[in-house]
Amino acid sequence: MNAPLPKHIHQRIRADIEGHIRSGRWPVGHAIPSEADLMTAYGCSRMTVNKVLSSLAEQGIIARRRRTGSVVAQPSIDKAVLTIRDFPAEAERSGKTYAFDILAQRTQTADVATAARVGIAIGTPVRFLTTLHRFDGQPEALEERLINLDAVPAARTEPFDDRPPGTWLLAHVPWSEAEHVIHAANASPSLAKRLAIATGTACLIVERRTWQGDTLLTEARIHYPGEQHRLVGRFTSTGLAASAAGPE
């Protein structure tokens, strides 16, 4: 049942504590043995114990307080970590072929509405790209992207021959902050046509904005067709675990 005796002391300590918590033997609020207790229990130095407990506290698994000791932390169920993969990576994961078509593009300066929406100055040069992502030839999602050419000048002449804009950007541009907004909307006639679905079909829309410092780098609005697409997030109360996203 237990892991096969980890090589390092800190792994054993950590596995033991996490096991107690995950199994429910140590419920929320339950006291963790003090550092001194764990020292003697595992026959190691305090620094070793301290590194484990500090790490657990950093991850929100336990809460540490002076004098009263450490306790199992209340996990916040209201955080869901979703993976929203790069399209080529997602296709590979699901064993499908990936292809993309750039349906439309233009380079211009940001008008008032655009500038206000994404928080850039009016007149900033931007490149718009409309990309259809296809898995096994079938439309998977439609992406409408804006790239701030002041922030990413190399994108002005990039042909995006072998990689779609999102993948290219991810590899070339360092970023510091990102925001995702997810909502649902009925497909417009033009969107429906390009995704090969019926007008009015419910679509999942993921908007992603990425910044470097205060400068917006890019904004993408990705439309997933109908009920086919699901964003999946899985996590545990003892830290966050990765997940899968994609069609059923």
Residue 233 touches which of a copy of itself, DNA, none (Cβ within 5-8 Å per kind): a copy of itself
Nearer to a copy of itself, 55 or 138 (CB): 55
x-marked contacts with a copy of itself along 52-91 as a string, rule CB under 8 A = --xx--xx---------------x-xxxxxxxxxx--x--
Instruction: Tell me the number of residues near DNA by CB under 7 A.
Output: 26
Residue 48 touches which of DNA, a copy of itself, none (Cβ within 5-8 Å per kind): DNA
Give the binding range for DNA (CB under 7 A) out of 19-27, 41-49, 155-163, 219-227: 41-49
Which residues are CB-contacts of 70 (< 8 A; sequence separation ≥ 6)? Answer: 31, 32, 34, 53, 57, 62, 63, 64
CA max distance for the chain: 70
Which residues are CB-contacts of 163 (< 8 A; sequence separation ≥ 6)? Answer: 88, 171
Q: Give the separation between CA 82 and CA 243, rounded to whole angstroms.
A: 7
Nearer to DNA, 46 or 156 (CB): 46
What are the C-alpha distances in Å from 78 to residues 43, 75, 186, 236, 238? 38, 9, 27, 12, 14
Minimum Å gap between C-beta 65 and a copy of itself is 19
Among 3, 28, 36, 154, binds a copy of itself (CB under 8 A): 28
Place of tokens 């993921």: 206
Question: With binding defined as CB under 8 A, does residue 124 bind a copy of itself?
Answer: no
Nearer to DNA, 10 or 30 (CB): 10
- In one letter, which amino acid is 39? M
